[in-house]
Amino acid sequence: MSVEFHISNKYLRSSRKKGFVSFISGVSMVGLILAVMSLITVLSVMNGFHEELTNRILNTISHSYITGPDDTLENWDELQKKIDTQDRILASSPYVEDFALMTSKSASQGISIRGVLTDQESSTSALLDDIKYGSLSLNEDESSVLMGIGLATLMGTGIGDQITLIAPARNAFGALIPISQTFSVSGIFNAGLNEYNNGLAFIHLYDAQDLFGLGNNVSGIRLKVDDLFKANEITNKVVDTLGDGYYGVDWMQQQKHFIRALNLEKQMIAIILSLIIAVAAFNIVSMMVMVVTDKKSDIAILRTIGMTPKRIVKIFFYQGISIGLIGITVGTVLGLLLALNIESVISGIESVIGFQFFPKDVFYINRFPSKILLSDVMSIIFGAFILVILASIYPARRAGKVNISEVLRHE
């Protein structure tokens, strides 16, 4: 252990016994602890939210879909057979999707209608995995419909009730005419996302073809691939095998604005919270300046016994670094502990104040998921340490420039 480090360590311990300097030193360290802890916790919670939202959205949309000119496919059954022969395709399902007006005895609502074959749709999407009431059955002969739990509440309908769907379709002359069909509610599902619970209904694929006047065509074929993050590459290869006139859209293209918004939100919050660490670092500057002022007589004595200004600089630089390292270490440990137990902490706060932060009927997610990323933690530690180094330079250099003759004259 060097002499400089030994003296700085002694100063750090002795300053705890001195009133105002000790108080400022403690405030600086606590500020750094809170800043690091807050940043680790918030970024971990945001990572958890992003993962939860992404998983929920990916469960409700296919990994990709393939369609053709005018967003329709002819001879879809032959195309589906070709698609299913591809090595990296786990499942596929044809679909028809468009907007229609749903009416019941008590309400009317514009919604999205998706025509599917339920056995194939379940293999590419998790939307129909949670049937709250009724059964997962779409009988073409009986013209049945599955609707989201929120939509059923809005329409005032239950199992067995009748609803009417009205959609525009083109006749033989190309003119738009309204087509209406009556359906019986056979099931009510919970998709886990209000967007789908409140605005989506499923009918049989053939019923949808009749309702939207598509004949034997479909809107496209949805795919489930073996590697979620290579969906674009896999889909493009499948499209190449089908020939010209087809194109594919993967999940990242479908949700690119949403994903971009999530990433931008995380970056902005990280920048804003990083300012807290910067403030804590400036507190270290002011605290160390006060320490240097308080230790001027000690600096003069050390200089008179032969210690050079560079070694004086090292003493106070080491002291600032030591305070920073303690704050960063304690803040990191507390941040990791809080991030790991955030759900139990929040539930305890909710039970005490009697207020729910994320009501189920308003938000997609009604809990605080957390995911700690090593890259985030290391970035926070490294960034905080750099700021501490910068904050320690000025006070240390000021200590090396103390005029010892002037100090000794006043002692």
Read off the pLDDT of residues 256-286 as tens digits, 9 standing for 90 and up.
777 777 778 777 877 877 777 777 777 778 7
How many residues belong to the chain? 411
Show the tokens assigned to 29.
């360290």
Rounded (10°) CA dihedral 47, 48, 54, 56: -170
> 20-49 pLDDT, tens per residue?
556 667 777 888 888 889 888 888 888 888
pLDDT at 333 over 90: yes
Tell which wins on pLDDT, 192 or 83. Answer: 83
pLDDT value at residue 51: 78
pLDDT value at residue 163: 92
Calculate the alpha carbon distances from 244 to 80, 88, 233, 236, 239 in Å.
16, 21, 17, 12, 8
pLDDT at 352 over 90: no
If we measure between CA atoms, which residue out of 248, 225, 235, 256 comes closest to residue 54? Answer: 256
Q: Scan for tokens 């300046």, then name that residue.
A: 289
Residues paired with 177 in a beta bridge: 169
pLDDT value at residue 128: 81
Show the tokens assigned to 165.
């769907």
Q: How confident is the model at residue 337 (pLDDT cuts 50, 70, 90)?
A: very high
User: What's the rounded Cα separation, in Å, for the pair 330 and 36?
Assistant: 9
pTM score > 0.85 for this model? no
Residues in CB range of 218: below 8 A, 6 or more apart: 72, 73, 76, 94, 95, 96, 115, 205, 209
Instruction: Choose the weakest-confidence range: 5-19, 76-90, 370-384.
Output: 5-19
> 68-110 pLDDT, tens per residue?
888 888 888 888 888 888 888 888 899 999 899 999 888 898 9
Tell which wins on pLDDT, 375 or 192. Answer: 375
Show the tokens assigned to 266.
């995380």
Calculate the alpha carbon distances from 112 to 171, 191, 201, 356 in Å.
22, 14, 7, 31
If phi > 0 it is left, if psi is from -120 to 50 it is alpha, else beta; for residue 148 that is: beta
pLDDT value at residue 140: 67
